[in-house]
Amino acid sequence: MDDVVDALDAAAGTTCLVGAGGKKTTLYALANRLDRAVLTATVRIPIFDREVAAVRVTRDPIAVLETFDGSRSAFPLGLVPERERDDRYLGYEPAAVDDIAAAHDGPVLVKADGARTRLLKAPNEREPQVPPGADRVVPVASVDAVGEPLSTDVVHRPERVVSITGADPGDEITPELVGRVLAHDLGGLKGVPMDATAIPLVNAVDDDADEAVAREIAAVVHERADVPKVVLARMIDGEVVDVVR
What pLDDT, on the 0 to 100 scale, is given for residue 72?
Answer: 72
What pLDDT, on the 0 to 100 scale, is given for residue 1?
Answer: 58
In the chain, how many H helices and how many E strands?
Answer: 7, 15
* Number of domains present in the structure of the chain: 1
- Cα gap 10→22, rounded to integer Å: 16
CB 244 within 8 Å of CB 15: no
**CATH number (domain holding residue 21):** 3.40.50
DSSP state of 22: S
Is the pTM higher than 0.85?
Answer: yes
Direct distance between the N- and C-terminal alpha carbons of the chain, in angstroms, rounded to an integer: 14
Query: Which residues neighbour 71 within 8 Å (Cβ) at sequence distance 6 or greater?
Result: none
What pLDDT, on the 0 to 100 scale, is given for residue 71?
Answer: 73
- Low-confidence stretches of the chain (pLDDT beneath 70): 1
Nearest residue to 21 (alpha-carbon basis) of 174, 169, 226, 188: 188
What pLDDT, on the 0 to 100 scale, is given for residue 197?
Answer: 98
Range of the domain at 163: 4-244
81-to-99, 103, 125, 146, 240 alpha-carbon distances in Å: 14, 16, 24, 36, 32
